[in-house]
Amino acid sequence: MQINISNAAIKWFQEEVGLKKGNKVRFYTQIYGSSPVQENFALGFTVDNEPVDMSVKTEIEGITFFIEGTDLWFFNGHDLHVDYNPQKDEVEYSYTISE
């Protein structure tokens, strides 16, 4: 499994969330919502500098984006892609089957 963050999404995280080098962003499962990989569950994020079980991570511009082991089930064999949607002015998630 991989986490892919677009340059536009990185810029959004830096400008809107105020992230800088050394910060950590955790992607986590929410019990409400929906996604293409899990019905009745959605993905959220939080700034979390104290990971417990950082199972998947990627670092871009000194910012670590990660998923805890307890949330890996959500992805069901898919990679996570995070991009910025300028019409909604927010990040959006898409998923592709892991190779």
- Cα separation values, 64 from 7, 13, 23, Å: 14, 12, 6
In order, the DSSP letters of 18-59 are: ---TT-EEEEEEESSS--SSSTT-EEEEEE-S--S-EEEEEE
For residue 79, name the pLDDT band (cuts at 50, 70, 90).
very high
Of 2 and 48, more confident: 2
Q: What is the pLDDT of residues 7-29, one digit of tens each?
A: 999 999 999 999 999 999 999 98
pTM of the shown model: 0.91
Domains of the chain listed by start with CATH number: 3-97 (2.60.300.12)
Q: What is the pLDDT of residue 36?
A: 67
In angstroms, rounded to a whole number, what is the distance separating the alpha carbons of residues 83 and 93?
Answer: 7
- Please give the mean pLDDT across all residues of the chain: 91
In angstroms, rounded to a whole number, what is the distance separating the alpha carbons of residues 41 and 29?
Answer: 7
